[in-house]
Every structure is written in structure tokens, then in C-alpha cells.
């Protein structure tokens, strides 16, 4: 059996980079493994203030000094109560993740990442806003900001454009406006407290399918904290450790809803990336859906095959935070059960506190499975081949 550690080590070379004038600018070790990072988080300093150039005069006047997007009151018990690593603050200041040039050095160059998908958790906070006019304008501003100030800086950045689900028809318009731009590879859909199988979201799915863009869902940090945002099962968590542990239940319920409501029958080319919701629960949800389908198929007669087959065909999961079972062999077993060779996609979650990196993640895998998780599955999903 191949030892993946040795394989990876063999791929590491010392490399010297030169500018055109041959000035040595950097000497580092470069990992030649091909990597796509499916989930990184840019930040705009000042929240709405930072979006000013991308808001109409009328909307700027409307916000009238109301500049901050709200935080969930349960903060991570880390220095300054922030989920953004303080050691990622760029040399010029601002929050970690706010400087595309520095992030390229600190993440993309360091780990030889070929493509990295930007999904803005900051934009995800829009689901805490009850007003659809505000949320729709801000979503467009976020998209234009990232198109102009990130994708132009480094072509390795790709964008999961954001939509405001407050007005699904406007969200579909936004997908058709932005989705054709070069470098846009997904639609980040921050969720309301409406399950994803609900026809409420269909205009968004229709537009995403039309443009060949997968829907990306991700915790928005608002879960359980605001009246419009996703409620946690059973009640309201009372600490960060609780709400962070409970994230998978959000994805679990939404996938069950999508499969049984027939979203993938209605939208046969639609794909979904479930980012940062964990994945050790995926075998469980597949088994439970199939078991109940055998019992109660008559409630969902539009399903043409086992529910798990829809999940395996249409849904992908990001790897971060890498699960840490009691024995590492359990992870291998879970990978087999969830068909990780098709469904799992590597992500770092940079610059958040719980980020994973290629050199400390899934070192036990054989070369073939590692390549699929770190590159092939993402290349197929985001059409980056």
C-alpha cells in the first residue's frame, strides 16, 4: 500500500520565484499537488461603508450611517471574539481576508492553490435583514465589489456570487446579471428559515441551472440569532460551542427537503455544494431517506429512484472542518459510506480560526482519492477543467 505521506513529500520541491527583471522575490517550498480550495472568505472593511462605491446614491442615503452588518451575539471564545484569525491581518491593516494581494501570498502561493472559491460569510449576514430592498441592493454591491476588487487582482480567485433570498425573482435577475461574468462559478444562497425544497426558492434554482452554476450553502453565522434566519432544531443554543456543533442539522434538514420535494426531479442539472456543515452525517441521511422511501414512497411518487441516488448525483460537501473521530480508520470508513470519491471537496475556510490546510489534512489517503478530493471533484462541480 502506498504511503501518502511519502507521496506528498516527493512532490515538494524547493522553488525560486523571479520577477521579469530576475530579481529574486521569494524562496519557498512549493507543493506541486493540484489543489482547488472550495471555500475561502474575503472581508470588506467597514461592512456597508466599504460597499459605498457599489451602492446607488439613493441606497447610500437610505442606509444613512447605518453601516454595520449585525453579529450573532454568541461569539467564538477567541481573542477579540472574532472568527477571523488575527494572524491573517494584512500588513496594511484591516481584517484578515480583506486584502486580496496578501491572501494570495498567505494562502494561494503558500499552498499552490490553483483556484479558490470566494464565498462571503459577511454577505451571508444579509439574511438577518428583514427588508428585501436593502438585502437585494447589498447583495449586488457585494458581487460587484468582489468582481472588481478581487477577481481582477488574481485569476486564481473565483466567485460564489451572493443572492438575497428575500426576493427570489430579484435574486434570479442578479444571477443572470452576474453569473455570466468570468470567474463566477457558483451561487452562494444564504438561507432564510425556509427549507430548500420549498418552491419559494425555485426562481433561484431555475436561474442557477440555466447558467450551469451550483448552489453553495454555508453557515451564515446568523443561525438561531435573528427572526428571519435559520432556526436551530429543538431550540436556541446558548453558547458558541453549541451553535457551532449544531451546524450539520441545518444542512441535514435542507437536503432531506430538497430530495423529497423533488427539486432534483424538477431541476435535473442543478448541483448543490454543502460547505462547512460537516459530512460524517451523510451516510446517516442517505440511509434514513432510503429506508423511509421504501416505507412511504407514495408520499413522494415523483422520485424515480432511491433518494440517496439524488444526493450522490447532485450534492457535494466541503471537507473543512475535517472531522476528527476517535480512530482515523473511522474517517476512512465514513469516506467509503458517503462515496467521498465523488462527493467530498477540499476547502481551507481561510482565514477562519478552524481552517485546514493541504499539509495537515487527510494525509492518510491514497493518491487517487486525495486527487479527487483536492482537485477533480471541485473541477467538475465548478466547471474548472
Is residue 293 involved in binding another protein (CB under 8 A)? Answer: yes
C-beta closer to another protein: residue 199 or 284 = 199
Peptide bond into 200 cis (omega under 30): no
Least distance between another protein and beta carbon 288 (Å):
13
Is residue 296 involved in binding another protein (CB under 8 A)? Answer: yes
Contact with another protein (CB under 8 A) among 64, 295, 327, 385? 295
Task: For the segment 139-158, give every residue that binds another protein (CB under 8 A).
Answer: none
Q: Which stretch binds another protein (CB under 8 A): 62-70, 77-85, 295-303, 312-320?
A: 295-303
Q: Which stretch binds another protein (CB under 8 A): 210-218, 302-310, 319-327, 331-339?
A: 302-310
Q: Which stretch binds another protein (CB under 8 A): 70-78, 187-195, 257-265, 270-278?
A: 257-265
Helix (H) or strand (E) holding 251: helix 247-260
Contact with another protein (CB under 8 A) among 37, 99, 144, 261? 261
Contact with another protein (CB under 8 A) among 10, 19, 57, 294? 294
Alpha-carbon span 71 to 114, nearest angstrom: 32
Written as nine digits, the cell of 371 is: 486527487
90: phi then psi, degrees, rounded to nearest 5: -65, 160
Whose cell is 449586488? That residue is 140
Size of the site for another protein (CB under 8 A): 18
Is residue 304 involved in binding another protein (CB under 8 A)? Answer: yes
C-beta closer to another protein: residue 82 or 309 = 309
C-beta closer to another protein: residue 98 or 209 = 209
62: phi then psi, degrees, rounded to nearest 5: -65, -45
Is residue 305 involved in binding another protein (CB under 8 A)? Answer: yes
Alpha-carbon span 227 to 73, nearest angstrom: 13
Alpha-carbon span 157 to 37, nearest angstrom: 10
Least distance between another protein and beta carbon 297 (Å):
6
| CB under 8 A, 24+ apart: contacts of 247-252 | 247/219, 247/223, 247/276, 247/277, 247/278, 248/277, 248/278, 248/281, 250/191, 250/219, 250/223, 250/277, 251/217, 251/277, 251/278, 252/281, 252/285
Interface residues toward another protein, by CB under 8 A: 199, 261-263, 265-266, 293-299, 301-302, 304-306
Amino acid at each position: 500500500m502506498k504511503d501518502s505521506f511519502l507521496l506528498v513529500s516527493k512532490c515538494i520541491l524547493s522553488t525560486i520565484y523571479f520577477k521579469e527583471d530576475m530579481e529574486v522575490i521569494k524562496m519557498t517550498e512549493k507543493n506541486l499537488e493540484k489543489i482547488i480550495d472550495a471555500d475561502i472568505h474575503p472581508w470588506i472593511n467597514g461592512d456597508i461603508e466599504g460597499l459605498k462605491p457599489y451602492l446607488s446614491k439613493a441606497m447610500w442615503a437610505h442606509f444613512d450611517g447605518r453601516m454595520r452588518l449585525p453579529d450573532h451575539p454568541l461569539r467564538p471564545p477567541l481573542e477579540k471574539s472574532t472568527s477571523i484569525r488575527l494572524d491573517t491581518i494584512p500588513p496594511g491593516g484591516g481584517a484578515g481576508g480583506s486584502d486580496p494581494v496578501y491572501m494570495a501570498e498567505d494562502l494561494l502561493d503558500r499552498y499552490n492553490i490553483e483556484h479558490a472559491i470566494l464565498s462571503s460569510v459577511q454577505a451571508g449576514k444579509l439574511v438577518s435583514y428583514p427588508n428585501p430592498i436593502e438585502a437585494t441592493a447589498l447583495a449586488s454591491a457585494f458581487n460587484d465589489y468582489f468582481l472588481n476588487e478581487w477577481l481582477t487582482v488574481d485569476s486564481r480567485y473565483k466567485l460564489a456570487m451572493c443572492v438575497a433570498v428575500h426576493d427570489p425573482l430579484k435574486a434570479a435577475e442578479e444571477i443572470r446579471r452576474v453569473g455570466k461574468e468570468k470567474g463566477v462559478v457558483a451561487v452562494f444562497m444564504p438561507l432564510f428559515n425556509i427549507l430548500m425544497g420549498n418552491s419559494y426558492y425555485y426562481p433561484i434554482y431555475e436561474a442557477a441551472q440555466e447558467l450551469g452554476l451550483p448552489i453553495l450553502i454555508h453557515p451564515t453565522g446568523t443561525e438561531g440569532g435573528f427572526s428571519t434566519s435559520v432556526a436551530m432544531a429543538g431550540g436556541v443554543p446558548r453558547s458558541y460551542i453549541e451553535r457551532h456543533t449544531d451546524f450539520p442539522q441545518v444542512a441535514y434538514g435542507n437536503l432531506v427537503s430538497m430530495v423529497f420535494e423533488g427539486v432534483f426531479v424538477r431541476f435535473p442539472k442543478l448541483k448543490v455544494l454543502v460547505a462547512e456543515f460537516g459530512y460524517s452525517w451523510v451516510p446517516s441521511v442517505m440511509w434514513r431517506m432510503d429506508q423511509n422511501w421504501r416505507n412511504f414512497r407514495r408520499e413522494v411518487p415523483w422520485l424515480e429512484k432511491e433518494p440517496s441516488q439524488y444526493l450522490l448525483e447532485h450534492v457535494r460537501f466541503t471537507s473543512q472542518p475535517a472531522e476528527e473521530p476517535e480512530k482515523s480508520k473511522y474517517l476512512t470508513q465514513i469516506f467509503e459510506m458517503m462515496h467521498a470519491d465523488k462527493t467530498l471537496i477540499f476547502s481551507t475556510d481561510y482565514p477562519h480560526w478552524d481552517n485546514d490546510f493541504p499539509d495537515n489534512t487527510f494525509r492518510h489517503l491514497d493518491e487517487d482519492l486525495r486527487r479527487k478530493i483536492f482537485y477533480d471533484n471541485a473541477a467538475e462541480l465548478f466547471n474548472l477543467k
